[in-house]
Structure 1
Amino acid sequence: MTLAALVTVAVALTGCAEASSGGGSPNAARSSAPSGAALAKTEQFVAPYVRAPVWRGPATSPPVAQAKHIVYVNQLPTQPLFRAIGTAAKEAGRALGWNVTELDAATLNDLPEVFNRAIAQKPDGIVFSNLSANEYPTITAALAKSKIPTVVIGVLPNQVNSSYTHVVDLHYSLQGQLIGAAAVLDRKADAKLGVLGFAPGFDPSGEALIAGIKSFLASSGGGSVVATKTIDVATVTDPSAVGQSSVAFVQANPELNAFYVGYDGTSSTVVPALRQAGLLNRVDVLAYQGDAQQLGWVRDGGGQVADVAWSQAWATWAAFDDFNRIFNNVTPPADDGVPVRLFTKNYPPPAGSTTWSGDFAFRAKYKALWKMS
C-alpha cells in the first residue's frame, strides 16, 4: 500500500473515531485533511518516476558516419559524474567505430587551455558536460570560432547556451519538482526546506532546479523553502568550507527539517559534516545526480533520504547519437528522451555500488538504431 493510501486510511479512521466519540477536535480533523491531500497528490506525481522508464528516444537513425573523431573534455576528473561520462563516451565511440580522446583539466582554471588543446586537434566533434556558455565566455567564443560541432550534457537548452550545436536536456525543472516531492513525502507534508545554491545568474541549471522545488512545494501545499544559503565556487569546491558553511546554516535556522544541498558531489562533504555536528537527526538531506555513494546512503539510511538520478551513460550515448545526426545534416531531437528517476528510502535504489544504470537496455537500443552489432 502506498504512503498516500495509508494516510488516506488514517484520516478516514480518525474521522470515524471522532464522529463516534464526539470528543475529537474539528480543527485537528481539518488540519489533517490538507496533509492527506498533499501526500496523495505527491504520490501520484512521483509514480512515473519511481519505476523503470520506457524508451522515449528516437525511432529511426541516419546511417552511421564513418571515421569520426570526438574529443571529450573532462573538467573535473576527480568527480564520479565526469568519469562516468568519459567511460560512456569511449563505449559509444567504440560502438560507432569512432575514435574518442579524453582531455582532463587539472583544475577549473585550466579549462580554457584544455579546450584550446581540444580545438587544436581539429576533431569532428567536442562533447562535455555541465558547463553553461556564460561561465567561461572565452571558451564559448573559441568553440564558436572553431565551428566544431559541440554536444553538451547537463545544461539548459536556452538562449544562453544557443551557441552550442546541441544540448542533451536533463529536465532540471522536473528534477527540482521531484526533489520537492521527496521532501513532502519525507516530512509528511510539513517540509521546511533549506536550500544551498549559487548567486542568481551563475548557475542557470541549478536555478531551474530550485525553481522546480519551490513550484512543487507551493502547488502541493506540502511545505515551503524557509531559508536559502548562497555559496560561491570557491566554497563548494572546498570540502572543509562547504561542510562548515552548511553546518552553520542549519544551526542558524532551527526550523529546518530538510536540506537540499545541490548535486551529490556537495552532498559527499555536507552529510559527514552534519553528522559530525549531530544535526542529521534534525534535518534530512536531499540532492540530485545519482552518484553511487549517495544512492547507497539513500538505500541504507546513511544520512541522505532522497536522490534524483539521471543515467549518465544513457545521456552520453544520446550525445553520440546526436553527433551522428549532425554529421548526416539531420537535426537532433529537442528531447533525447534521457529519463530521470527518484530514489528515496521508500523507493530505494537496487543493491550495489554503481550509479543508476537507467533500468533499460539503452545501449542495445542505440546499436539497433545504428544497425551496429
Structure 2
Amino acid sequence: MALACALAASALVACERGSSTGPAPGLPEPTRAGCPAGLARAEAAVRRAERTDTAWDGPVAGPPAVPGERIVYVAQTMTNPGVAGIAGAVREAARAIGWGVRVIDGQGTPAGVQGAFAQAVALRPSGIVLGGFDPRLTSQQVAKAVGRRIPLIGWHAVASPGPSRTPRLFTNVTTRVEDVARISADWVVADSHGRAGAVLFTDASIPFAHHKSDLIRQRLAACPDIRLLSVENIPVQDTGTRTPQEVSSLLARFGRRWTHSVAINDVYFADAAPALRAARRKGAGAPFNIGAGDGDPSAFQRINSRQFQTATVPEPLSQQGWQIVDEFNRAFSGAPPSGYTAPVRIATAANSAGATAWDPPGFRAAYRRIWGGG
C-alpha cells in the first residue's frame, strides 16, 4: 500500500485506502507537460460559477397549497451538515405552507436508517423525505411506503435530479453530480494553473458520493500535471475521529507536494483543520481546499476567515428544502414534478460577502406566491 501511494505521487495513480491501488479504468496516462486547453476551459468555467449577478430561474407557477399535510424527514445522519441543513429548511418551508414535519435521525448506520424509515412508514404521513441515503438500503421500507401510496422525495438519494422509477421516487432534489464534480476539479486546475498535487476525500459507502469522487478523478486526470497523490476513503460519520490522523499521515508522506484538496463534503475540512494547524500550516496557505458540497455555514465561516478552506461548491440548502415541500405539494395535487435543478456555483471569500450560505435569490417569495395561488 505504501509503495502504491508513493507511485501515485509521480504517475497519476490514486491510492484509495481499502480498495484497488490502480488507476481508474479509462483514465488517460500523462502525455505532455501542462494542459493549456484544459486550463483555459477550467478558468472560463470557474469565472462563470463565481458570478454573483444571478436571478431566480426556478418555478413561478404550480398548484396552490394543499392544507393540513404531514411529512417525515428521514435523515441519513444529522451529523452531516448538508443533511441537517436540508432538515432545517424543510421545517421552515413547512411552517410557511402550514404543514407538520417530523425529523427522524438514522444515525449514519444501515440499521439505524432502516429503523428510522420503518418508523416513518408506521406514522402513515402524507409524504416521506429520504435525506441523503441510498433507497436500496431501505428497499423493504420503500416498498411498504409505495404500497401505502405515500409519496417519496429524495435529497441526494439517487445520482440524478428528477423522478426515479427504480426506486420509486416522485422526484430527487439535488444539483447534478456531474456538474459539481466537473467544476470542483476545474477549480483545482484553474487555481493551480494546471500544476497541482491533489488529495481527494470521499465516502465510498455512499454510492452518490463515490460516483462524485470518481468523476472528480477523471476530470483531474485530463490534465497531466495534476497529480492525484491519494484518495482517502473516510465515511462521513467517522470524519471527526479519522480525518485528523489521516491528514497528519498525508503531511508526513507528501509534504509540500500536497498543494490542493477536494472533498465530497465540506465536513472533512472542519476535521482536517486541527491537524493542519498542528503542523504549522497557514490557514490561507497550501493545501488549498475545495468542498464539492454541501456549503453549510461552517464551511462559509472557514472560507471567509481563510482557515484551511478556500472554496466550496454549495448546495442551495434552503432553496432545496423549500423545493422539497413544493414538490410534495405538486404530488398531493396530482401535478407533475417541477423539473427544476439549481445551477452550480463556487463560493469564495471574494464573492460570498461574508455570507454563511448561498441560495438563488428570490426563491422564498416565488414559492409563497405559488402556494398562495398568486
**TM-score interval (norm. to shorter):** 0.7 to 0.9
8 Å CA contact 2:178, 2:215 repeated in 1: yes
**Between Structure 1 and Structure 2, which shows a larger proportion of helix residues?**
1
Letter of the 1:132 partner, please give it: D
Is 2:295 the counterpart of 1:290?
Answer: yes
User: Is the 1:127–1:152 contact (alpha carbons within 8 Å) kept by the matching residues of 2?
Assistant: yes
**2:83, 2:132 within 8 Å by CA — same for their partners in 1?**
no
Q: Which residue of 2 aligns with 1:103?
A: 104
Q: Please give the residue correspondences for 1:230-241 in structure 2 after superposition, counting only pairs within 5 Å.
A: 230-232=233-235, 236-241=237-242
Kindly state the Cα deviation for residue 35 of structure 1 after the two structures are TM-superposed: 5.9
Match of 2:214 among 200, 211, 214: 211
- Counterpart of 2:334 in 1: which secondary structure? coil
Q: Do the aligned partners of 1:76 and 1:104 also contact (CA within 8 Å) in 2?
A: yes
Change (3 A) 1:274 1:160: farther
Aligned ranges 1:117-266 → 2 under 5 Å: 117-157=119-159, 162-199=167-204, 202-219=205-222, 223-232=226-235, 236-254=237-255, 255-266=257-268
**In structure 2, what is the Cα distance between the partners aligned to 1:242 and 1:160?**
37
Alignment size in residue pairs: 334
Task: Provide Cα deviations, 1:203-229, integer angstroms capped at 9, x if missing partner.
Answer: 222133223323433456672434222
Using the alignment, how far apart are the partners of 1:160 and 1:277 within structure 2? 49
CA 1:249 to 1:133, structure 2 compared with 1: closer, same or farther past 3 Å? farther
Q: Which has the larger radius of gyration?
A: 1
Stretch of structure 1 that moved more, 220-229 or 150-159: 220-229
Mapped contact 2:81–2:294 kept (Cα < 8 A)? no
Residue type of the partner of 1:315? Q
- The residue that corresponds to 1:25 in the other structure is none
SS in 2 for 1:263: coil
On the 8 A contact 1:176/1:208 being kept in 2, the answer is: no
Q: Deviations over 1:307-365 (max 9, x none)?
A: 110111100111111111111222213x42323320235x442214x332x14010001
1: CA distance, partners of 2:82 / 2:210? 20
Q: For residue 209 of structure 1, what is the amino acid of its counterpart?
A: K
| Range that drifts further, 210-219 or 119-128 | 210-219
Structure 2 residue runs of 5 or longer lacking an equivalent are 1-31
* Runs (4+) off by over 6 Å: none
Check 1:146–1:246 CA distance in 2 against 1; reply closer, same or farther (3 A cut): farther
Counterpart selection for 1:340 from 322, 338, 344:
344
Task: Return the offset for 1:62.
Answer: 2.2
Distance 1:71 1:228 in 2: 35
* TM norm structure 1: 0.79
Other-structure match for 1:271: 273
2:120 is paired with a residue of what secondary structure? helix
Contact 1:71–1:100 (Cα < 8 Å) also in 2: yes
Q: Is the 8 A contact 2:73 2:128 kept in 1?
A: yes
Whether contact under 8 Å (2:133, 2:206) holds in the other structure is no
Q: Residue 310 of structure 1: SS of its match in structure 2? A: coil
Give 1:250 deviation, angstroms: 4.0
- Change over 3 Å in CA distance of 1:78–1:203 after alignment to 2: closer
The separation in 2 between residues aligned to 1:325 and 1:222, in whole angstroms, is 48
1:312 is aligned, of 302, 314, 317, to: 317
Larger deviation: 239-248 or 133-142? 133-142
Shift of 1:367: 1.2
**Aligned with 2:313: secondary structure?**
strand
- Rounded to whole Å, the distance in 1 between the matches of 2:106 and 2:221 is 41
Structure 1 residue 142, shift from structure 2 partner? 4.2
Instruction: Give CA-to-partner distance per residue, 1:15-48, whole Å, 9 cap, x none.
Output: xxxxxxxxxxxxxxxx99x666544322211233
Offset of residue 302 of structure 1? 0.6
Structure 1 portions without partners, runs of 5+: 1-30
Match of 2:9 in 1: none
Q: Secondary structure in 2 aligned to 1:175? A: helix
SS at match of 1:88: helix
**Is 2:90 the counterpart of 1:89?**
yes
- Taking structure 2 as the reference length, the TM-score comes to 0.79
CA gap of 1:194–1:371, structure 2 versus 1, over 3 A, is same
**How far is 1:154 from its partner?**
1.8
What is the one-letter code of the residue matched to 1:45? A
- Aligned residue number for residue 11 of structure 1: none
After superposing the two structures, state which structure 1 stretch, 140-149 or 287-296, moved more: 140-149
Relative to structure 1, the CA distance from residue 110 to residue 38 in structure 2 (aligned partners, 3 Å threshold; closer, same or farther) is closer
1:35/1:188 contact within 8 Å kept: no
